[in-house]
Structures are given as structure tokens and as C-alpha cells.
Amino acid sequence: MSTARRLAAPLLLALLLTGFHSANASQSWGFNNDSYRYSRAALEFLGLPRGEAQVKARDAYCASRSELTACLAANPQGVKPDHPRYERIFDTRPGYPLLAAPFIAVFGALKGLWVLSFLLTATSGLLTYTLLRISGLSRLPSLAGEAVLLTGGLGYWGTRALADSLVTPCLLLCGIGSVYVLMGRRRAGLGALLGGLLVLALTKYSTALLLAVTLAAASALYAWRTTRHVPRRFAPTTRTGERHRAWTTLTVASAGAALWIGAVTALLGLPAASETMQDTLTRYFTRPDVPDPVQGMLALEVTYWPTWFHYNVGFALLLGLCLWALWRHRPQLLPIALATGLTGLGTAFAHPLLEELDRLWVVAWVPVALGVPVLVQTLGNRGGALLPPARSAPAAREPDRTLTP
């Protein structure tokens, strides 16, 4: 079967489901505060001076509002809040506006970001399908995982004018890279992993740092576990030894990327966790700084997480089941599943705002999209039989009992 025929079904599914979200978005399409700042940065990349870019971005922001005249009158010099510390947070995120610049040049700010969001979200669906296929799942379960991703929160928020639409394909590209590394295709795997982390760091460096740290931790845990289950009589050249080296490679690469991102962040003096806490507690620096930000954040967490569990208890249970299924039957997907899940929940922990209750943790849908096909097929195997092993993985041509508890 040719590549075009193999990709026909996932491409059609991606276009249909993304088109559904985009069609709904077009009925109420508009810029929020973040969208305004990304479009302003994109216009600056196109060569406009800061002041002119700010006015054009404001015009696009107000054009998406029901009362254009009132919006323009309320924001004569640009959309507020406009504190320099708040503006700097967005100035350190060039990835998304840089990618958006040519789309805005051709279609304008509103339509340009709409087209870009559509393409990026459809790409996320295709990458999900690819990730599941290279992990050994058949076509129908892989299509199911793609559908879960696109019908869930990532499909909805991906079609909005936000950097989230670029974050998701970066995460999935990192997942493809990690699986390739574990399959023994180190050069391709490290290229995809580090490339995805680089683009993610240019888009949201805090998310890239959190992902790299959690990916390194998850890989180290499994590398340690494989070491415990390797009999001492086995030589390093055995299949089990190859598997352990692959997990170690993934751990070292992820940890190295985390150190690199952290070092660059510190050297450039980019906004750190303390600035994020003040941004949250002062309502985007519209109030004086809080003397004890840690205590203030803990007070917000106490309110936020009971509310989160009240509305998302079903999702939390499903997330746990999916991680269990991956742990038992698709360990090569477990690092990226754990990393993206923890990245989503960690992002919400850093910004415990009730008005963002349904968005900031949304990348935690990635492990659900990866785990649901495995979970369903696992539950369908009444004898508890394992799923077929991943294709092309030198360490997984036959089921490895040391990978299952």
C-alpha cells in the first residue's frame, strides 16, 4: 500500500474533526488577550514598527468584538493589561508569532490565525496516528486515538488563536522521537525529540523545560526498572541490554535538553517561576507585588484543585486507566504519556486560575489519546493477553516479560 493510501483515512479524519471545531470557532471567532499579543509580534516580524503593529493588532482584536467602536475607545494605545513585565512574558515566546507571520501577511490577522490553527490542529491528529502506528497498534485503534485527541480539549483549544495549537504537535513530535529512540533508531529519534523540544522552547520555554524534566524522570524510572530485572549472567549485547541502553539514551537526552533549556533561560534572564507567581497573584501586574507569593499561590491551589476534580473526576479516572494500560502493554509510549500528563497538570498548578479551568491543563489529553486505544483493546482481550509487540523494535520483537509488572 502506498504512503498516500495509508494516510488517506487519518488525513480525512483530521480534516473532518478539525473542520468541525474550526467551523464552530468561525461563528464566534475572535482574539483574546494572548491572541492580540501574538498577532502584534507577528506583525513586527513582518517589519512593522512596534507602535504600528500594536495598532493593527488592536484593530483586529476589536474587529472580533461585538462593539467595535467601544473597544477602540477603551484601548486607544493597545489592549490592556500593558505592564512591561507582562509584555515581556510574550516577547520571550517568538515561536508561534514567527510561524504565524506569513499567514497574517497573506490572509490578515484574524483569518491568518484561523488558517494556521486549522492546519496545526489537523497536523496534531496525523502525528497522533503516526505515533500510535510506529508503536505497533493497527490502523483502527490508531484512528481511534486520533479521534480522541481531536474531539477532546486539544481539538477545541487548538482551533483558537493561541500558541496551544503549536504546542501540541511539538509534544507529539517529541513522543515520536522517544519511541524511535526506544526502537533503536537513535539518530532519527534524537532528531525528532530535540527538534520538537527546540520549537517548543521557542514557543513556550517553561512548557519545554517541564516536558524535558518529566520525560527524563519517566525514562530514568523505567531504565532503573529494566536494570533490576536483567539477570547478571546476561551480556550487554543481549536484547535486554540493548533495551536498557535505549532507555538510558532517552533519559540522558531528555535530561541534557532540560539542562540546556534551564541554562539558556537563566543566562538570558527570562521570566522565571517567581515572575509567573507574581503575574498570577497580581492579575497580570495590575496590582502591587505580593510579599509572600508562595503562600498566596497555596491559597489559590486550595480553591482550584477541589473545583478541578469536581468537574474533571471522570477525566482523572480515565487518565489513570490509560497510564495503567500503557505501563502494562505499551511501555514505549509511557514516557511521553507521563511527561505530557504531568506537564499539563503542572501548568495548571503554576496558574491555578478558575477562569482557565478548562484550558491550561489541556495537554493532559495526550496520554488519554494514546491510552484509550490500548485500554479498549486490552479490555477486549478476555484472557488478559498482551497486545502485539511494537513493529521494527529490535528489543520488542517478542513480548518482554521484564517490561510488565
| Calpha distance 332→66 (Å, rounded) | 49
Cβ pair 347, 361 in contact under 8 A: yes
Structural Rg of the chain based on CA atoms: 22
End-to-end C-alpha distance for the chain, whole angstroms:
37
Query: What HEC string does 77-88 produce?
Result: CCCCCCCHHHHH
| Calpha distance 34→180 (Å, rounded) | 35
What is the reported pLDDT for 32? 86
| Calpha distance 226→404 (Å, rounded) | 10
pLDDT tens, 275-308? Answer: 999 999 999 999 999 999 999 999 999 999 999 9
| Calpha distance 184→223 (Å, rounded) | 15
| Calpha distance 170→118 (Å, rounded) | 15
List phi, psi (to 5°) of 118: -60, -50
What is the reported pLDDT for 377? 78
Domain ranges of the chain: 3-30+81-403
What is the reported pLDDT for 297? 96
| Calpha distance 337→198 (Å, rounded) | 19
The CB-side HSE value for 21 (13 A sphere, CA atoms) comes to: 29
What is the reported pLDDT for 222? 81
| Calpha distance 324→330 (Å, rounded) | 10
- The overall average pLDDT reported for the chain is 88
Q: What is the pLDDT along the chain (405 residues), one digit of tens a residue?
A: 667 778 899 999 999 999 988 877 665 666 788 999 999 999 999 999 999 999 999 999 998 887 888 999 999 888 989 899 999 999 999 999 999 999 999 999 989 999 999 999 999 999 999 999 999 998 999 999 999 999 999 999 999 889 999 999 999 999 999 999 999 999 999 999 999 999 999 999 999 999 999 999 999 988 877 665 544 433 344 466 788 889 999 999 999 999 999 999 999 999 999 999 999 999 999 999 999 999 999 999 999 999 999 999 999 999 999 999 999 899 999 999 999 999 999 999 999 999 899 899 999 999 999 999 998 877 766 444 445 554 444 444 333 333 333
| Calpha distance 197→201 (Å, rounded) | 6
Strand ranges (E), 127-283: none
One-letter amino acid of 83: H
What is the reported pLDDT for 90? 94
| Calpha distance 16→339 (Å, rounded) | 29
Q: Could you give the 3-state DSSP secondary structure of residue 137? A: coil
| Calpha distance 338→368 (Å, rounded) | 10
